[in-house]
Structure 1
């Protein structure tokens, strides 16, 4: 081991210090390479990550049989693509304890500089990677360009977007989570996925009632990362750009919190510490992140992945961890009898009551209703409040935008549409009828006469004065139709669609927004994933206030390769009788074709949403200048006869802009 390199054995991150003037032929190192047989290769490519002005993390994995002994690997780094001169030429060791993966933090680099790197075992070289360091803090920048992606499921849809992204001119890529998906069909054919992605089969795994199996052991999680990294398109993306990554839920378990899983109603009552630690270790082994993992720490919180980056005077980027420290969902799955009523389709008043009760029981503390946890929340406030850059970007896993539906109003609309379908003369009165019927339903609920004796007072008066329909005609021809369509009283409320997002941690969201508002912190923009849809909107100081104030912006990226939000909710209204009456709010069938209505529904009930696209996959490219943030949402083409679409994979692009100085989103 030479003077430029040492090992941090606690988490096995090699640190190499760059120098100048080393010969490119392999000389200049104090120790020659020990001989290695030519039975190794670099099947999973190379990667770089976490670019800072003076450092970057480089990654590879050695594949081959070495009898569980270490493998000697040489790392070479150069400013020249032909490696004619080297700044690093170090001998490293790939160890079986870390699945023969290497993470090397190269320090002593120059800011805003492109470097090339490669690894060698014996006579075999890895692919060449290209990376770039960040501009020095305070350096005036005219532009920064990067992509943000999430949700790249091996078993659903296609990865053509990766191939397209690798051709872009970017400074780096932000990955907001769901790099892998822990549950697989375990060897069974999967529909709606490109043919080149063959079925996965976990070495161990645990079987769900659905027949899917989820990763349980360290070998399971390692298997998934190796399978994902076997795709040449993901390898090319990593080799082209440094990646700044954070995890979301599927790197461990769907909709997880701390070391708890949530597949069944009572799952999260039992800690899964060993499984969580295995997920932590596999993520650490396979992502080029400048973080440490302490295997000597017996808890599941043996790794800290939240961290900050600065790019000149233009941008601060905060990457948060919204799984490892979060409290349980406000209404547990056990109490709700499942995920509906706990994580999905929850009455807003019930959610608020549960949150208020937990805060009161904790003496006003946010700990039991927090997504970030107390320490990370304080870190976030310190970093965003102290940032000296124009823009403050937040790598944020789950959406900050309120997503709700007032089902009283929505069901009144559906009932009116049915009336109009049988009496088209009423069409000009549609909006007034919806308002009147909404008021009538609320009055019946309030008076206790629902559903047996709804008076329809407002609708009667409207149709009498505007359409000449007297009370007797109303009772004979209209009231029976309305009465037959009345839903259960429980549906006539405002529902939050997803409490696994920030809507389920509203008190902490209000706390963060109050911090930004009080301290006049401007130009804060979240880069979000998770929900398999594109959204752009403003985050309010308090979504429930009579006159909420916009504080920051949330840009939400669709899954790069996943199912879609609309398809998920379509499954709910198709299969859960409790929500059959609101099918038209999700989709309609026109001439045998499924027509998305969820976009319109969400924007109608959530006016802070400026853009919504819920039935697509894709990625986002951000171009940042001192004056504005431009975000281009790239919407992918679909599968073609079971194959990824030919390039270009983008079907269309929607662009939104955020002007500096204002919490505003404009669709351009």
Structure 2
């Protein structure tokens, strides 16, 4: 099957997930008509995100020809008015808000209207319209008022969805759950070419190579967001997103690239590439105007609270980090990883994180994190062989964060992480160099949606990780996501997995469940 620019394969009526970009939520004075259509202008779906007690941000991107080589989705060189409605009911008989925004060429004809003045902790429905075409209906919800009593929360977290490695079946199952929120922890796209892919789909030549400019990144997002399973999950819940490395390039660090081509060797050229990647990221995610990039800079660390129950602190461990010590891979001989002047967070973000640990009054403090924070030793013998790309390569920052948690006597710290294409459940110690140091938190690492292909339950490498890391309670290498149920006394993480992704239609099951009870962090199987 060849994917045509004019045809989205397999796009069902329930599909919905795309980002509408605009300079804030500007209202139009007069309507701008859409062009004569060659396809569905809402081909990339709808989404919502960054919920607050009084509102959220909505997103869509007009793209009647989503894979057009210029990256503009088949849109004309003039603005188009996009109307939106927010309702208390799915039939839109009881409107809560309505308005319009203008989609422009400058932002790839994406729009991000931000809604305010809505009621806290309740479900809303939304849709878009341009001319006589109405988008799929999305469902979202606001958060509780700050400090108000929140009895329970259900959310899921996911990461790592390489389109070329398989189908997004896990998102179909996620969309069927009753969730308040989805947290995406990075690697939403991969910069790799997708000519050879495990879906068995032929793609046009523009997708053979990795992108370097804005048109290329826009089309990469359009390819990913054309997936109906991803659209379904976006349309059902508000999302809270950050990035990892593949939104730009594998293992990049601040102004340091992986340096595989000339454009990445020269820092100024790499910053141009990063600016293009950041703009495309913003154009395709439900992000507020505060996250709009300024060239190669984009603020993604931020907080979202759910009353007195949970506070989500979203990190950015790419943009401010020092270059990886001793290369990007894993090693047992790297003294530089222990240097006190090396950072994965950058001084300002680290101070912001530590301040939040000190002042949060939420029952559960949740850190949304890209790469594993806990030590993951790959050598079951006396050596400590760890990855330089994770927090193991930036020990000073890890000790600062977990040491502060120990000083404050925090007993409710949970870190949720992506990146590894494996499921982990582990305890976090104040200092991993001292096995007697106190346990100060828990980390749940979620596997990939599709990256790595079908995966296996427990490989030889997984057995080795369990043998080498006494604080690691669980390892699994299948695909899926983590579903979480939280109340005032208990946290439960269900590792939801599918047996295969290289063909569609996989069933889902819960491979393992772990609970934390109120009090000192003690990880236990459910």
Q: Alignment partner for residue 377 of structure 2, among 396, 399, 404?
A: 404
Corresponding residue number in structure 2 for 1:382: 355
Corresponding residue number in structure 2 for 1:610: 473
Q: Alignment partner for residue 152 of structure 1, among 157, 161, 168?
A: 161
1:282 aligns with 2:280: yes
Task: Identify if the C-alpha distance between structure 1 residues 405 and 248 changes in structure 2 by more than 3 Å, giving closer, same or farther.
Answer: closer
Match of 2:50, SS state, is strand
Compare the two structures and name the one with the higher helix fraction.
1
Match of 1:87, SS state, is strand
1:534 aligns with 2:392: no
Q: Distance in 1 between matches of 2:100 and 2:174?
A: 33
**CA drift at 1:270:** 3.2
Corresponding residue number in structure 2 for 1:496: 385
Q: Distance in 1 between matches of 2:453 and 2:33?
A: 51
Corresponding residue number in structure 2 for 1:553: 442
**CA drift at 1:87:** 2.4
1:72 aligns with 2:72: no
Q: Which whole-Å deviations, capped at 9, do the CAs of 1:247-293 have from their partners, x for residues lacking one?
A: 01100111110132215499976311100111111111111012535
Alignment of 1:48-87 (within 5 A): 48-64=48-64, 65-87=74-96
1:213 aligns with 2:222: no
Task: Report if the CA contact (8 A) 1:155-1:199 is conserved.
Answer: no
Task: Identify if the C-alpha distance between structure 1 residues 200 and 515 changes in structure 2 by more than 3 Å, giving closer, same or farther.
Answer: farther
Q: Distance in 1 between matches of 2:47 and 2:280?
A: 15
1:597 aligns with 2:452: no
Q: Distance in 1 between matches of 2:403 and 2:126?
A: 45
Corresponding residue number in structure 2 for 1:257: 253
List alignment gaps of at least 5 residues for structure 2.
1-20, 65-73
Alignment of 1:232-247 (within 5 A): 232-247=228-243
Corresponding residue number in structure 2 for 1:12: 23
Task: Report if the CA contact (8 A) 2:497-2:510 is conserved.
Answer: yes
1:644 aligns with 2:504: yes
List alignment gaps of at least 5 residues for structure 1.
1-9, 17-29, 204-211, 332-341, 360-365, 410-492, 568-593
Corresponding residue number in structure 2 for 1:472: none
Corresponding residue number in structure 1 for 2:496: 634
Task: Identify if the C-alpha distance between structure 1 residues 213 and 38 changes in structure 2 by more than 3 Å, giving closer, same or farther.
Answer: closer
Q: Alignment partner for residue 134 of structure 1, among 143, 150, 174?
A: 143
Task: Identify if the C-alpha distance between structure 1 residues 345 and 609 changes in structure 2 by more than 3 Å, giving closer, same or farther.
Answer: same
Task: Identify if the C-alpha distance between structure 1 residues 371 and 216 changes in structure 2 by more than 3 Å, giving closer, same or farther.
Answer: same
1:316 aligns with 2:321: no
Match of 2:78, SS state, is coil
**CA drift at 1:45:** 0.7
Match of 1:88, SS state, is strand
**CA drift at 1:605:** 1.2
Task: Report if the CA contact (8 A) 1:112-1:134 is conserved.
Answer: yes
Q: Distance in 2 between matches of 1:274 and 1:514?
A: 37
Task: Identify if the C-alpha distance between structure 1 residues 556 and 15 changes in structure 2 by more than 3 Å, giving closer, same or farther.
Answer: farther
Task: Report if the CA contact (8 A) 2:244-2:318 is conserved.
Answer: yes
Task: Identify if the C-alpha distance between structure 1 residues 109 and 15 changes in structure 2 by more than 3 Å, giving closer, same or farther.
Answer: farther
Corresponding residue number in structure 2 for 1:345: 330
Match of 1:292, SS state, is helix
Q: Distance in 2 between matches of 1:599 and 1:264?
A: 30
Which structure would you say has the larger Rg?
Answer: 1
Corresponding residue number in structure 2 for 1:354: 336
Task: Identify if the C-alpha distance between structure 1 residues 47 and 509 changes in structure 2 by more than 3 Å, giving closer, same or farther.
Answer: same
Give the length in aligned residue pairs. 493
Q: Distance in 2 between matches of 1:565 and 1:396?
A: 24
Q: Which whole-Å deviations, capped at 9, do the CAs of 1:574-604 have from their partners, x for residues lacking one?
A: xxxxxxxxxxxxxxxxxxxx98222221111
**CA drift at 1:643:** 2.1
Match of 2:147, SS state, is coil
Task: Identify if the C-alpha distance between structure 1 residues 35 and 291 changes in structure 2 by more than 3 Å, giving closer, same or farther.
Answer: closer
Q: Which whole-Å deviations, capped at 9, do the CAs of 1:170-201 have from their partners, x for residues lacking one?
A: 0010000110001124x3x32xx234x54464
Moved more, 652-661 or 171-180: 652-661
When normalised by structure 1's length, the TM-score is 0.70
Q: Which whole-Å deviations, capped at 9, do the CAs of 1:335-381 have from their partners, x for residues lacking one?
A: xxxxxxx332311xx32x2245x54xxxxxx3xx1111000001111
Match of 1:602, SS state, is helix
Task: Report if the CA contact (8 A) 1:655-1:667 is conserved.
Answer: yes
1:656 aligns with 2:514: yes
**CA drift at 1:34:** 5.4
Q: Which whole-Å deviations, capped at 9, do the CAs of 1:181-237 have from their partners, x for residues lacking one?
A: 01124x3x32xx234x5446446xxxxxxxx73221111110011111111111111
Task: Report if the CA contact (8 A) 2:485-2:491 is conserved.
Answer: yes
Q: Alignment partner for residue 122 of structure 1, among 123, 128, 131?
A: 131
Corresponding residue number in structure 1 for 2:301: 306
Alignment of 1:417-456 (within 5 A): none
**CA drift at 1:38:** 5.1
Q: Distance in 1 between matches of 2:34 and 2:189?
A: 33
Q: Distance in 2 between matches of 1:201 and 1:495?
A: 44
**CA drift at 1:53:** 0.5
Q: Distance in 2 between matches of 1:235 and 1:244?
A: 15
Q: Which whole-Å deviations, capped at 9, do the CAs of 1:554-592 have from their partners, x for residues lacking one?
A: 00000011117988xxxxxxxxxxxxxxxxxxxxxxxxx
Corresponding residue number in structure 2 for 1:483: none
Q: Alignment partner for residue 194 of structure 1, among 187, 191, 199?
A: 199
Q: Alignment partner for residue 290 of structure 2, among 274, 292, 296?
A: 292
Match of 1:48, SS state, is strand
Task: Report if the CA contact (8 A) 1:150-1:177 is conserved.
Answer: yes
Corresponding residue number in structure 2 for 1:625: 487
**CA drift at 1:36:** 4.5
Match of 1:516, SS state, is helix
Task: Identify if the C-alpha distance between structure 1 residues 37 and 250 changes in structure 2 by more than 3 Å, giving closer, same or farther.
Answer: closer
Corresponding residue number in structure 2 for 1:577: none
1:666 aligns with 2:524: yes
Task: Report if the CA contact (8 A) 2:253-2:318 is conserved.
Answer: yes
Q: Which whole-Å deviations, capped at 9, do the CAs of 1:23-45 have from their partners, x for residues lacking one?
A: xxxxxxx9775555552621111
Q: RMSD value over aligned CA atoms?
A: 2.4
